[in-house]
Chains A and B, each alone.
Chain A
Amino acid sequence: MIELYLGILLLLGLICYLIPVRHSYALKAFALLGAVYIGAQIVLNFLTPPLSATTYFAGGAYPGFFALGCSFFTAVVIIYSLSYARFIEELNKYYAYIFWCAAVSVGAIYSCHLIMFAVMWGLSGVLVYLLASLQPLAANAAKKSFIFIGGSDAIIMLGILSVIFFTGTFTIGASPIDLNHAPFIMQIACICFCIAALTKAGAMPFHTWIPDFAETVPLSITAFLPASLDKILGIFLLVTITTKIFIITPLIMYSLLTIGSLTIIAAVFMAMAQHDMRRLLSYHAVSQVGYMVIAIASGTPLGIIGGVFHMLNHTVYKTLLFMSAGAVEHRTHTTHLDRLGGLAAFMPFTAAVCLTGALAISGIPPFNGFASKWMIYQSLITAATAQPFTSARTIFFLGAVITAIFGSAFTLASFIKLIHAIFWGQKTRTYDPSVVKEVGISMMLPMMMLALLCILFGLLPGSLALGKLISPALSSIGISIPPVVPFWKAGAAGLLILAGVAAGFLLFFITAIKIRKNGVFVGGEVLPLEARAPAIDFYQTITDVPLLNRIYAMAHRKWFDIYEWGTKGILSFGQLLSDVQTGSMHTYVLLCLLGSALLFAALL
């Protein structure tokens, strides 16, 4: 069953690969057919999760849920790409890679054999590279991403092999290794696993590939990989590590909590200072990972459920946001915030869905982001107050909660900037209404679906997302919602909020007739640029705050990018070594003699 699904996805990709680029309609029609097939499979798997088990793949509700997510976003992105991806020259490769990427991601999730998992996981990294390098201008981003992801794949191999050696079995999660009693090497193995999960999901300090990736790679691919599939894979692995493979020590838990908190706050500050919507969104893709990491690291059932719920919500609204950014770029051919503005009048649908996504990511009720953040806060506070206030556990948990709440506020702040700069505010140039208009149905449809999910998951968190998807999945690995279900009851509050919003609209439409609009009167002068109130300048002040300005300057010089540090370190080491390679034969013979002497000393 699982193998059949994987096989068909691989076959779909292969057929796409073989269709010549010039038959672009045939290609798109075929890709759409593939999306329909995936959709049918989603419905089928939703009704009856595959339960078959072989040596390599095992079904079940837990992997089934994550695989469902991968399939869903693949279908959504394929539909979105039908008109978005027109500028990609090698369209056959594009669709082929998307199908293959879905296949290997689903394969990695269903793997119950560690080596099979490593192969599938590694292949998903290769496909990130291949998809990114379809755009020649993104060659640098593709390189950097692949060094991060491929590097973390090499690191996870060390972890996987150590676990195989220690447990003597290839099966994933045969019995969790209790790190409190296992040899020290197992802790290193656990760290190796965590590095791979965090790199894939994009948590600090392994996040720096994401902004570069989002900046140059076509947005449909960004929506597909860093925003959805890689998040699902990364969080899936993190949950698997902490629940099925290892029982983590407090030290690792505190490290993960610190990493998560830092990721939330640092990335959101970086996001506020961005002038490009691609980069701004990408820093949020990093920041949100922090919420999932702290929730899952807390280790409480409620926390893990909240973290997985947040992952689901995040993939929905972040894919939506990247897609609406893609819609804006599709029509205006720019992603710079200072060259946009006032687009709500031209693209009302895009503006509405983008606003939905923005409110959801900022954790505004009744959207889905709030529901999961609420669960995360609750789980952390419950866990923290279970022990005396002076214990390390309480300090770390409360610290994480506080950062998370502040992070949420800053997220809202930066999204007000984004929405204002793109859709509201004054126009920065005159748009040609025949060019800048609403996007076509094939782009609207996926965005609408995702926006609806944002609202539905927010209004009915208990019965829909948690009840139908997450609870069955996680209870199959022994994590069930505590009897006192503390999640937010959206009913009454949601209705009140909606009533408030409706009242606002009502007021607007009633009073709108009475508003008289005038242009700014400047006596015939050309309106100077300073007379505008661009959102960017407003947020610019944050980079002038003492201390923060230093940190921003350091970030600008890439002080926090381990990639830069690695490159510099390796190159100076290489410089040092190549000074020995003088080309003169005396040095060569001398080196040989030196080597012999050392060898002699070592052996004697």
Chain B
Amino acid sequence: MNLLPLLIIIPLLGAIIVLLMRSCAKPWHDAVTFITLIALSVIAVLVQTGVVSHGMMVFNPGSVVPGLGTIAVADGLTGLMLITINTVITCMVIFSIDYINRFEDSALYYFLILMTTAGLNGVLISGDLFTLYVFMEIAVISAYVLTAFTNEPESLEASFKYAVIGGVSSLLILCAIAFIYAETGSLSFHEIAIAWNRPEHFLTVLVMVLLIVGFGIKSTLIPFSSWVPDAYTAAPAPVAGIFSGAVSKVVGIYALMRLLYNIFGFDAHIMSVVGWLAVASIIIGVTLALYQWNFKRLLAYHSISQIGYMILGLSLGTPLGIAGGLMHLINHSVFKPLLFLNAGSIEHTSNATTLKDMGGLAQRMPVTGATSLIASLSISGIPPFNGFWSKLLIIFACVQSGKFGFAVIAVAGSILTLASFTKVQRYAFMGPLNRAAQSIGEATMLMRLSMIILTVLCVSMGVLLLPGVYEVFLEPAVRALTVGRHYGVAIEKLLQ
């Protein structure tokens, strides 16, 4: 039996069931969502093991119009991303169980989360631009609604901005798809990969600009990321975690890299321009973060900066750079949602959102304090936590490719990240206890559980580089990108 359709059917079914059970008590909603996501995580692992042992997986339901067929494909990169995002979303849902008591409509919340998950899984397994576009829209439209979920003026405003800018980005991507279709007469990745042969230079540049800007907005690259701080701050904390840990990775980085590597083939000039955007994101994102006092807003700017690291690694095109970028992507999907959960946990117990209203909280919230410390050390690239290893790879890949300047900027960004997170630790968790926080307690058991799971991952993810583990997770993903346009040929072979 082919597993790939299940990745979309299960969350859609779960979403419908949750919505149908709207009148039931909240624990039912929790249970359905949780079971759905656990099932998805298991399937993701099965997909990865299948890909590692048997090579690429393809599911072809057949097409009515030639060139407009719907194809589902999974290779090493897909499997890795599937495991990452489904695990992260599961952790976010565990945290949400207690966190969303403040909202009335838990069924709608879970419905939207499951729809986002379905959309993201759909993007990951899509083998053609049409499927990719449709599932991307499912994911981001659910994300717009989730941003506005708290129903406060700021969140409505942020959601509106997110929707408009997101709409612009989708429009640009749609334009690019139209040009591609006009040139190649197909929407499936493998047919485009084979048919896209030296078109006019202008057309190539146009398509590339449309794609980079379109997916750049979704993946929060500077200068297309102005919507990010507003949306991430306004969204409920676990939702912000999903945005930064899953949505921006899948509909932004994954989609862009899949297209740039496997469909159009690696182009050094285009990738070096993307690399420049990445280093700009690293520095500008972290500088803006240093300026912030609102915890979630600060984290949002750090997302921009960290996305820069991933794209910097991926833009180098060397196996080491790709491995570093992908590993940073996975690591970031662990520590950034964890930091958002820390912010959510503080918000939940003390209602404080700015660092100035916190202080000494580690005394009252030891688990939140300890987990946030480890997440902060991870994101700052301090050994032996996971962020260190991926930054190490990225910086080494920069040196290796002769881009010493990029390496210097990556190091500078790392120092500023450290400065920013020592500020977070100083004002939120260390120092004398804030008077307003005298009576607060630790977050609830489930909240702590989800934070602890992510912390354990932060500490242990360095093993991804160990021989034996590397071959199972990162190596197939790196190979999936380095094969370049052979991707199309490989799918073609499987379809015959």
Does A575 contact B432, Cβ atoms closer than 8 Å?
no
Does A157 contact B395, Cβ atoms closer than 8 Å?
yes
Over the window 430-446 of chain B, the binary record of Cβ atoms lying under 8 Å from chain A Cβ atoms (1 yes, 0 no) is 11110000000000000
Does B273 contact A603, Cβ atoms closer than 8 Å?
yes
Q: Is the interface of A mostly helix, strand, loop or mixed?
A: helix
* Given known A-B contacts A139-B426, A588-B161, A592-B168, A154 and B411 have beta carbons under 8 A apart: yes
CA distance A153 to B205 in the complex (A): 41
Does B396 contact A143, Cβ atoms closer than 8 Å?
no
- Which residues of A, 553-604, contact B by the 8 Å Cβ criterion? 566, 570-571, 573-575, 577-578, 580-581, 583, 585, 587-589, 591-592, 594-596, 599-600, 602-604
B278 to chain A, nearest CB (A): 13
Q: Does A479 contact B (CB under 8 A)?
A: no
Does B419 contact A585, Cβ atoms closer than 8 Å?
no
Q: Which residues of B contact A137 (CB under 8 A)?
A: 431-432
Q: Does A150 contact B (CB under 8 A)?
A: yes
Q: Does A14 contact B (CB under 8 A)?
A: no
Contact for A147 among B230, B284, B384, B419, CB less than 8 A? B419
Could you say which of B2-10, B116-124, B210-218 contacts chain A? B210-218
Does A154 contact B418, Cβ atoms closer than 8 Å?
yes
CA distance A137 to B432 in the complex (A): 7
Q: Does A123 contact B (CB under 8 A)?
A: yes
Does A571 contact B291, Cβ atoms closer than 8 Å?
yes
Q: Which residues of A contact B288 (CB under 8 A)?
A: 574, 577-578, 581
Does B291 contact A575, Cβ atoms closer than 8 Å?
yes
B257 to chain A, nearest CB (A): 17
CA distance A228 to B287 in the complex (A): 35
Does B209 contact A123, Cβ atoms closer than 8 Å?
no
Q: Which residues of B contact A592 (CB under 8 A)?
A: 165, 168, 213, 217, 223-224, 226
Of A153, A188, A599, the most chain B CB neighbours within 10 A belong to: A599
A159 to chain B, nearest CB (A): 10
Q: Which residues of B contact A603 (CB under 8 A)?
A: 205, 208-209, 269-270, 273
Contact for B290 among A122, A162, A571, A600, CB less than 8 A? A571
* Given known A-B contacts A147-B418, A147-B422, A585-B161, A158 and B384 have beta carbons under 8 A apart: no
Q: Which residues of A contact B269 (CB under 8 A)?
A: 603
Number of A-B contacts (CB under 8 A): 154
Over the window 118-148 of chain A, the binary record of Cβ atoms lying under 8 Å from chain B Cβ atoms (1 yes, 0 no) is 1100110110010001001101101100110
- Which residues of B, 346-392, contact A by the 8 Å Cβ criterion? 360, 377, 380-384, 388, 391-392
CA distance A164 to B165 in the complex (A): 44
Does B404 contact A185, Cβ atoms closer than 8 Å?
yes
Q: Is the interface of B mostly helix, strand, loop or mixed?
A: helix
Q: Does A161 contact B (CB under 8 A)?
A: yes
Does A158 contact B418, Cβ atoms closer than 8 Å?
no
Q: Which residues of B contact A602 (CB under 8 A)?
A: 273, 276
Contact for A588 among B201, B208, B226, CB less than 8 A? B226
Task: Using CB atoms, name the residue of chain A closest to B381.
Answer: A154
B428 to chain A, nearest CB (A): 11
Task: Using CB atoms, name the residue of chain A closest to B287.
Answer: A574
Interface size class of A (residues with CB under 8 A): 35 or more
Does B226 contact A595, Cβ atoms closer than 8 Å?
no
Q: Does A509 contact B (CB under 8 A)?
A: no
Q: Does A453 contact B (CB under 8 A)?
A: no
Q: Which residues of B contact A146 (CB under 8 A)?
A: 418, 422
Q: Does A87 contact B (CB under 8 A)?
A: no
Task: Using CB atoms, name the residue of chain A closest to B377.
Answer: A126
Does A161 contact B360, Cβ atoms closer than 8 Å?
no
- Which residues of B, 426-470, contact A by the 8 Å Cβ criterion? 426, 430-433
- Which residues of A, 88-139, contact B by the 8 Å Cβ criterion? 115, 118-119, 122-123, 125-126, 129, 133, 136-137, 139
CA distance A570 to B301 in the complex (A): 15
CA distance A129 to B380 in the complex (A): 14
Q: Which residues of B contact A591 (CB under 8 A)?
A: 223-224, 226
Q: Does B23 contact A (CB under 8 A)?
A: no
Task: Using CB atoms, name the residue of chain A closest to B226.
Answer: A588
Q: Does B407 contact A (CB under 8 A)?
A: yes
Contact for A585 among B164, B205, B360, CB less than 8 A? B164
CA distance A118 to B391 in the complex (A): 13
Over the window 502-535 of chain A, the binary record of Cβ atoms lying under 8 Å from chain B Cβ atoms (1 yes, 0 no) is 0000000000000000000000000000000000
* Given known A-B contacts A154-B415, A585-B161, A143 and B382 have beta carbons under 8 A apart: no
CA distance A119 to B411 in the complex (A): 16
Q: Does A151 contact B (CB under 8 A)?
A: yes
Task: Using CB atoms, name the residue of chain A closest to B283.
Answer: A573
Contact for B382 among A126, A133, A161, A574, CB less than 8 A? A126
A189 to chain B, nearest CB (A): 9
Contact for B400 among A129, A165, A573, A594, CB less than 8 A? A165
Q: Does A456 contact B (CB under 8 A)?
A: no
List, sorted by A's number, 11 A–B pairs whose CB atoms are closer than 8 Å: A122-B388, A123-B384, A140-B426, A143-B422, A150-B380, A154-B411, A157-B381, A577-B287, A577-B288, A585-B161, A600-B205
A-B pairs, 9 with minimum CB distance: A574-B291, A139-B431, A588-B226, A122-B383, A151-B415, A119-B383, A595-B223, A139-B430, A143-B422
- Hey, which bits of chain A sit against chain B, CB under 8 A? 115, 118-119, 122-123, 125-126, 129, 133, 136-137, 139-140, 142-143, 146-147, 150-151, 153-155, 157-158, 161-162, 164-165, 185, 188, 566, 570-571, 573-575, 577-578, 580-581, 583, 585, 587-589, 591-592, 594-596, 599-600, 602-604
Known contacts A118-B392, A140-B431, A165-B400; 12 additional CB pairs below 8 A are: A119-B383, A129-B422, A136-B430, A136-B431, A136-B433, A142-B426, A147-B415, A154-B381, A185-B404, A574-B288, A581-B288, A588-B226
